[in-house]
Structure 1
């Protein structure tokens, strides 16, 4: 007699539960009968699995729906308040954090200036490499202390729920490996910072670390201007420039997981030296930092001051922002010629200058891209403005939780 392995039925149930949960997540409100039609699972199986999900606090009954004849069906919803996630956008000079529910709705948020080591802020040129490395590690420790404090404050804001805090997602301006170690963040001057390990040890929660531009791309795809668009490039324009590449609705990370560092494309062969070690990088000419360097000659010290002056029709400031837009458009033209995307989405802090940047960016792209590539391509500004990355980071934590639920962990 052939004995069927006992694990088979349990595995099948896990798979079917994942299918039913996915149907509710994507199509709710819907009835058990509609789930059966969508998934091909028989009604008895669906009914049993739905009850398991209700017992697990992941699905709610939401009253009767429309009848097509006979008894009105009971409609089902995903329970978005079953748990909460923390998202963090760790910038070069700021920390932005959010607490969201399982559907990405914002419950609490905060933003703080990121205090760097004062000597490093003054650009102290240290000849001793070991001393410089020690200063950089000290700087990372200080920033992580501030980051930890922000996470603690957000966790305290979480309402009671069946699953509590399901995870933490962090977007950082640098190259991150599969273990959540920041290998190199040139604008922070960090190398080999084991951020995921440190946060998991501190909070005892799953932590996901990714490049800030990747997080921004995910945020816009899930909640913003990129919804439903298969091929999109998110350009994060802050102190530096990073890009998140989504092809066929999937985040493209490259062979080693490090794709998207297009801010370090060389656009001027013998240009300014960059913190990455190269020269003439795109972000040196088209970022917030580039804008502020030039604005200092006009007596302005912050993006907020410049936006206020532009709104008051200060011609010098408007011309300066448009000049940055021309450089930004030149780099975007290269992206369009390489990837032929449906859209390019400009996000992060510089998206706040959209009304002055957009004409210059569009003109540069029109002038520099191949006509077949720009024929149907659109340039958009982030719907979530400077919150794309923090929303995307929170989505990473939610997505990790769903993956565990669906795999039965």
Structure 2
């Protein structure tokens, strides 16, 4: 066997072992051997290397059986950190996670304009803050993932961000001039779908995640892989026309889906009808609880258009799992069943329709997870919330707010 072949096989084995350690949270060498079908000698050599690198740690598990306690292997979650950034309209969220994707700190910075150079400076300054905070760990800040609410090419160039009116921006290249850390630029909806797969729906290889906040973005996984299209533009279904000659959209079309079925469109129209400004989720929840006819009618209107878009997407892609990412849908009674009742076509087929549990954290959690996957050089990533790896501090992570 050629040396190159041996090195390649060793790399494949390492990747498999790391994946299984993460999937199980804690696992013994013997169980690793059974699951991976690798010899105990191979497991021992690989484990020794990973321990020397401080990428995994050993611990003894309590048990009631007679004999030696098994020595368990787990990922050294504090060996390094990943930074996820959600580049949203009017604010930027920075979330730092450990190596099992558990958020440890989050900062939101409000922005009051769309000037590219000013936002670039904010990104550089904040990244350097998190880099310094991570410097005491063995690997430090292992990478940065940035979620962009717009079109991102396969080369990670920003083609167009409607809300900012950015065109043809090389954000990755501009950041690289000041920051020597691996950077990933990705569409926010793609990162949401990746997060749903990694943290929630491990067995679903055909999954749609539909983010419904400032617009509508659709992340599509087909056979476990993101659907990106020829240049990377696939998934811009928020700009699917559902009302011919309808409301003009910043994309240049008229009657786009997101103008009728996004949270931003709902809040805008409801505020106008009620002659109010700055409606919050709490305000809307109170209106729903009091069965305010204007708010309820507006919600039924949104459900109607959500259903129209879903019918089109289901017929196109035949997904297994559809995840609607919306805080608004959680506030209205029986939303999912009302949407399902509108999906009556005999040619539309899907398995599961639900509201995301990750909510607005999905983008940054997906960004962190993708950074971790690339850093560990593993083909698949699966964080199991139920295996005890995620503790209370992980779910209720620190949140800070600052202004710019």
TM-score (normalizing by structure 2): 0.85
Whole-Å separation in 2 of the counterparts to 1:221 and 1:282: 25
Give CA deviations for 1:340-388 in whole Å, capped at 9, x if unaligned: 22222111xx4244232753x64354234424635x6332111011111
1:257 CA displacement: 2.1
1:176 CA displacement: 0.8
1:95 equivalent in alignment to 2:92: yes
Residue of structure 1 equivalent to 2:376: 402
In 2, are the aligned partners of 1:187 and 1:240 still within 8 Å (CA)? no
Distance change >3 Å, CA 64–CA 268, structure 1 → 2? closer
In 2, are the aligned partners of 1:214 and 1:244 still within 8 Å (CA)? yes
1:270 equivalent in alignment to 2:245: yes
Q: How many residues align?
A: 377
- Identify the structure with bigger relative contact order (alpha carbons < 8 Å, sequence gap 6+): 2
Structure 1 residue aligned with 2:56, among 44, 54, 59?
A: 59
Give CA deviations for 1:117-156 in whole Å, capped at 9, x if unaligned: 5xxxxxxxxxxxxxxxxxxxxx222222233333334334
Structure 2 residue aligned with 1:344, among 303, 318, 322?
A: 322
Whole-Å separation in 2 of the counterparts to 1:357 and 1:265: 27
1:231 CA displacement: 2.1
Whole-Å separation in 2 of the counterparts to 1:64 and 1:38: 19
Structure 1 residue aligned with 2:38, among 30, 36, 41?
A: 41
Distance change >3 Å, CA 259–CA 61, structure 1 → 2? same
Whole-Å separation in 2 of the counterparts to 1:227 and 1:405: 14
Residue of structure 2 equivalent to 1:108: 105
Whole-Å separation in 2 of the counterparts to 1:148 and 1:311: 42
In 2, are the aligned partners of 1:337 and 1:369 still within 8 Å (CA)? no
Secondary structure of the residue that 1:12 maps to in structure 2? helix
Residue of structure 1 equivalent to 2:192: 216
My pick for the range that moved more, 268-277 or 21-30, is 21-30
Residue of structure 2 equivalent to 1:186: 162
Secondary structure of the residue that 1:275 maps to in structure 2? coil
Residue of structure 2 equivalent to 1:333: 311
Give 1:199-214 correspondences, 5 Å limit: 199-214=175-190
Distance change >3 Å, CA 303–CA 142, structure 1 → 2? farther
My pick for the range that moved more, 329-338 or 205-214, is 329-338
Give 1:144-155 correspondences, 5 Å limit: 144-155=120-131
Which structure is larger by alpha-carbon Rg, 1 or 2? 1
1:296 equivalent in alignment to 2:293: no
Residue of structure 2 equivalent to 1:124: none
Q: Which blocks of at least 5 consecutive residues in structure 1 are unaligned?
A: 118-138
Q: Which blocks of at least 5 consecutive residues in structure 2 are unaligned?
A: 381-404
Whole-Å separation in 1 of the counterparts to 2:123 and 2:284: 28
Residue of structure 2 equivalent to 1:390: 364
Whole-Å separation in 1 of the counterparts to 2:275 and 2:165: 27
TM-score (normalizing by structure 1): 0.84
Secondary structure of the residue that 1:203 maps to in structure 2? coil
1:310 equivalent in alignment to 2:302: no
More helix, by proportion: 1
Runs of 4+ in 1 over 6 A off after TM superposition: none
RMSD value over aligned CA atoms?
2.5
Structure 2 residue aligned with 1:233, among 208, 214, 236?
A: 208
